Amino acid sequence: MKRTVYRNARLLDPATGLDAPGGLLAENGIIADLGPGIANGATPEGADVVDCGGAVLSPGLVDIRVQLREPGAEHQEDINSASRAAAAGGVTTMIALPNTEPVIDDVAGIEFVARRAREVKTVKVFTHAAITKDLAGNEMTEFGLLREAGAIAFSDGPVGVSKASVVARALSYATTFGALLMQHPEEPSLVDDGVMNAGELSTRLGLPGIPREAETIMLDRDLTLVEMTGGRYHAAAISTAASVERIRAAKSRGLDVTCDATPPNFALNELSIADYRTFAKLTPPLRSEDDRQAIVEGLKDGTIDLIASDHAPQDQDSKRLPFAQAAPGGIGMETLLPLTLELAHNGHLSLPDALRKVTVVPAERMGLPVGRLAPGAPADLVLFDPGRPWRIDADALRSKSKNSPFDGRLVQGQVLRTVVDGRTIYTAPEM
């Protein structure tokens, strides 16, 4: 029997409200016991002992939106490199978007990801399946077969399905399988050739803008369709004050609706691209300071349910271009924890509430039995020092691509150890 005792920890489980000194016993990949009395007495025979030094021991992070780039663009990222990046960031479960080459729109695509994850054997890797074939927005995929094969939810990844009739059918059909539809709300006809938030700054920089209404128009339509069909819906990466209001109103009407925000949209604003910095070219675009503050308020009051990294690796050739031609997207798994902790350090959320948004809430919404510290639960753990300062250095990150919009940013909160099913898959270099 493989036993590991974690002693001298600050146990923090957002699912139960546990926040107390103590220890944890893992046996054969499962949490056997935890609490203040663990490891204060005799160590179980044959057990490995990890002294946590007073650091926080919490459930591993659950990232619901990751672009793996495998198959098809392995020069940007692959399942192995993404898994290493996730482990270094304290992410123990990640869910891949289907925008690979070929698109994950059939059972073979889901089985490929599952097989590669078993081979890599680092973090837990699941996948969303495409709503429409080839992400073309026209013909629906076989939801039943994909769900049976292991699809966690259905999404066309970084693009929204623009045809209302297709979304309505998808919402209705998904309810048959208890499945969730995840949309990136952005009306493509309004995006057109836009490359940043529309407004005074885009005019001054001479760059075509993406209006906030591109997001809210599709969101309004989708929420109306959710009300019509009774479907389950998740809005990905909302970025505007108006979107927060729409989600808040939909929840007040009792709709089965959730949403997430990404660190760039609560920690940065459009000024980050004032020098045509392509690493800050993202989807959705960085918005105004008023929008950023509204996203923070939505996280504070619970309108925004969870936080996702929206990890989108792009190689240097795709980013070292004039701003209008550069590819959008930024990597984010290795910086997800410290940027989420900024919400606690800045007094917007308590530490447990900040961690809720990257552990138990995404796990529950996606129907995964992870994200909590409890006897019988998988021993998926992250040990971190919430106050340890460090500077984000994109070149030192483990992702194949280095396109972090936070390069050079000073942050607090460093992962010391990451554990999946009782196996230590990452330790900080100094440990």
Q: Helix, strand, or coil here: 34?
A: strand
Residue 281 β-bridge partners:
none
Q: How far apart are CA 164 and CA 147, in angstroms?
A: 22
CA distance 185 to 180: 15
277 burial type by CB count under 10 A (0-12 exposed, 13-18 middle, 19+ buried): middle
48 is catalytic: no
Rg (CA), the chain: 21
Measured CA to CA, the distance from residue 424 to residue 117 in angstroms comes to 16
Which position among 106, 310, 385, 407 bears the catalytic label? 310
Q: Which helix (H) or strand (E) holds 251?
A: helix 241-252
260's enclosing H/E stretch is strand 257-261
Backbone φ and ψ for 103, nearest 5 degrees, come out as -65, 145
Site of tokens 């509430």: 353
The one-letter amino acid code at 249 reads: A
| Token pair for 403 | 């396109």
Report, as residue numbers or ranges, the catalytic residues: 310
